[in-house]
Structure formats: structure tokens, C-alpha cells
Amino acid sequence: MARTWASDIVTRVTSQTACQSCSLHCQDFLNGVALGQTMPGPLAAQVVMWIGYLQSGALGALGTSVMFILPSFLLVLTVAFVYVQYEGLALVSSLFYGISPAVMAIIAFAAVKLARLTDEKDLPAYRPRT
């Protein structure tokens, strides 16, 4: 099995926190990671929901998912509100024009990093047919 950055993170989190928790067994955590890897979406959110489910059932999963998602939601909502309220100001326009290339650079960097993780055997799938 190929070693990825996700497996490194799982190893570190497992050894540092999950296995030292008083009420969570290491195998339960690893089962949650395996379950999360089978589904699309962010692995961390799925593992958090799994741990919440193990601790308090469906309400625990709901509570952990709300607390996991709420900060990002509120941040995006705040930025959207500020943009709509002050979009005519030169400062706000300049900020968004400056942020856009930074976001594109982050996406490009992540794409290059992801491309480096593929092995040489996968290249024929990306070559145009002749």
C-alpha cells in the first residue's frame, strides 16, 4: 500500500491522541478512519462524526458535525456579508482582487502536490490517444 500524507496524519493522531483517550479505543478510531476513507468528502469531518456517534449515538454525531462545520460556515457567511455590504469600496475590491490570485496559487500548489503522489504507471490514462 502506498504511503500518503493522510496515512502519516492518521499515524500521528492515533499515537498522540486517540489511543490515549480514556473512552476511545485505538481500533474504534482506526475503524472510523477506514470508514471515512470509503466515502467521498473530508476525512477529518467523517472521523469526528464517527467518534461523536461512538460516544453519544446519533445526537453525538450531530453535535460534533455542527461544531466541526459551524466555524467555517460562519466565516464564509461573514465574508459574504462584508462583500455584499461594502463591494463598492476600493479597499474591499482591492482585497478581493489580491485574495483571488492567492487562492488560485493554493489550489495550483495542492494540484502539483497531488500529481506528485501518483506513480508512473498511471500516466497512460492521461495521454491523448493517437
Which H or E run contains 26? helix 26-37
Residues 6+ apart with CB under 8 A from 96: 83
Question: What's the total number of domains in the chain?
Answer: 1
Split at pLDDT 50, 70, 90, the class of 2 is very low
pLDDT at residue 105, rounded to an integer:
92
More confident residue, 12 or 95: 95
Which tens digit of pLDDT belongs to each residue from 82-116? Answer: 888 887 788 888 888 888 899 899 999 888 877 77
Domain that holds residue 113: 5-126
**25 backbone dihedrals φ, ψ, rounded to 5°:** -85, 150
The whole-angstrom separation of Cα 100 and Cα 95 is: 9
Which tens digit of pLDDT belongs to each residue from 56-83? Answer: 889 998 998 899 889 999 999 998 898 8
